[in-house]
Each structure stands twice: as structure tokens, then as C-alpha cells.
Amino acid sequence: MGNAEDARIPEGAEVPEGAVSPEEQWLGPVLRRREQVQPGTTDQRLLDSEGDSEWVHTDPWRVMRIQSEFVEGFGALAELPSAISVFGSARTPAGSPEYEAGVAIGKALVDAGFAVITGGGPGAMEAANKGAREAKGVSVGLGIELPFESGLNPHVDIGVNFRYFFVRKTMFVKYAQGFVVLPGGLGTLDELFEALTLVQTGKVTRFPIVLFGTAYWGGLIDWLRDTVVAQGKASEKDLLLFHVTDDVEEAVMLVTKEVAGEIEPGHLKPARRSRVSVQADPARSSRPGD
């Protein structure tokens, strides 16, 4: 490793007799050679009170911020009881059927012994947090720094706000035993497909995923079956990685039983190439393959 001679002498500094500007320099664990050798040492730059502050925007510093976000998230959620993450659109209007379904799901999950985790925003997320709070359960919101976000909704009892999506998404999976997914947009789809990929690849096990709203999710399921699976881009059994229902009680029952190991993903027949399974009577729940 380097020694005192490994640092290039800063421009304008008094040069000790015999000092050289090296062709090779160790800065901590990083080796620099030739034109990449930097003036001074890491300690010199650290202790320079008049130095450039742009370093706080460099990638090495971002790594520290990312690490701190993981530490904050892990610390805040470490003692959380068994939980289910509920996703859905921030644009769902209060009082709408979808909003009221979110409230009912939040309450039912608490009654089943779960804490409720959401993205902490308005709309469907607020609905699930509201239901959890009204049922005297643990209501968690994991927010994200966005220019158009208004902060965590008032029904969140434990809240953590993140800079980075990937840190936040880790928390959704790590501290939940499953997902319930209400109708939502691109953010909801992002979280849904990441979870499906984790289950498909075995990164998480016994992790139920329930889509709520057969009419809303029907077109997506048709596309997965009739295009993605039909063209060999996914396996037919991948359609059994999730459930779809219109019934709050069944949604919570499916989550509870799969978490307990009483049912397994793939216990039903693969989806047939028909729209029947997703165009069922709203009073009746369904799953691909029913």
C-alpha cells in the first residue's frame, strides 16, 4: 500500500527535499496511476474547510446516503408485526367504491392479525391506512421524495420517507408477508411486477399476491395469457403466482391461508385462453384458471 510519498504534492505547496510526484497512488483502497493521480491526500481534502462542496453530489457520497436509508428503514420497521403491503392509485377519489374497498381491506387485514403497509400517499393508499387505523391496528406509510407528493397521509402511524425507490421497494417486500393490489397506475404496476418476479425466481417464498378488482385487472391478465404466455415469453404456471378477486373477505382469506402454508401458489389449473375467468359476476371472486 502507499506511504507519505504516495500523494502528489499540492500545487503551490512547499516541496520537501527529495519529494516526488508519484506515477502510482493509493487513496484508501483505490489505486490511481499516471494522469489519474490526485493532488493531496484524502485527509487533506477532508480537513480543508475551504474546499469544494460538490463532493456531496458524487456517487461515493450517494452510496452513504443509500446505506443510511436502509439503516433508517430497517431500524424503523424491525419490530413491526406480520404485515401486508397494500398498493393502489394515489388518484383514487375519497368515497369512491375503490376507496371504500381499500378501507375495508385495511380493516380486514388488521382483524386477521396483520399490520398494513402502504406507500403513505393519498387515494387507495390512504384508504388502506384509514381502515387499519380505524381497526386499531398498526398503520405504516413508506413515502417517496417526489416533486408533486404532498407527504404522508394523516392515517399513517409509523412513517418513513425515502429518497430512492429501490430502498423503499425493499422495505415493502422485506417487512410484508404478501401484497394486496388495488387498481393503480404505473407505480402500482412496478411494485406488482417486481413482486411477481421475486416470487417467480424464488427470491421470496410463500408470498401471496392478490389483485383486487376483476374488471380492472382483467385486461392485463388477458394480455399476459393471450400474448406473453402464448408467445412463449412466460410459462403458463406463472399465471398462478397471483389471485384475483372482488371480495374483501376472500382477499384476506387468500393472504392468510397462503402465508400459513394452507394453500400454495399454483394449486389451481392454469388459465385457459378465455376471457371468462376475468369477466365474472362482480359478486363472485375469481382467479386465473377458475
Beta bridge partners of 39: 8
The structural domains of the chain, with segments of one domain joined by +, span: 8-49, 71-278
Confidence (pTM): 0.75
Q: Which three cell numbers stand for residue 134?
A: 380505524
Contact in structure between 279 and 243 (CB atoms under 8 Å): no
Residue labelled with grid coordinates 384476506: 252
CATH architecture for residues 71-278:
3-Layer(aba) Sandwich (3.40)
* Rounded-to-integer distance, Cα 194 and Cα 187, Å: 11
| CA nearest to 109, candidates 90, 127, 130, 83 | 83
* Rounded-to-integer distance, Cα 116 and Cα 83, Å: 6
Three-state DSSP class for residue 250: helix
Query: How many other C-beta atoms are found inside a 10 Å radius of the C-beta of residue 273?
Result: 10
Backbone angles phi, psi at 245, to 5 degrees: -155, 160
Query: How many other C-beta atoms are found inside a 10 Å radius of the C-beta of residue 223?
Result: 12
pLDDT tens digits in sequence order for the chain, 290 residues long? 444 344 444 455 454 454 455 677 766 566 777 878 877 765 566 567 666 667 666 778 888 989 999 999 999 999 999 999 999 999 999 999 999 999 999 999 999 999 999 999 999 999 999 999 999 999 999 999 887 767 899 999 999 999 899 999 999 999 999 999 999 999 999 999 999 999 999 999 989 999 999 999 999 999 999 999 999 999 999 999 999 999 999 999 999 999 988 876 644 433 332 222 333 333 333 333 33
* Rounded-to-integer distance, Cα 133 and Cα 115, Å: 10
User: Residue 140: CB partners within 8 Å, gap ≥ 6?
Assistant: 77, 80, 83, 115, 116, 117, 118, 120, 129, 156, 157, 158, 159, 175
Contact in structure between 173 and 198 (CB atoms under 8 Å): yes
Task: Check residue 290 and give its pLDDT.
Answer: 30
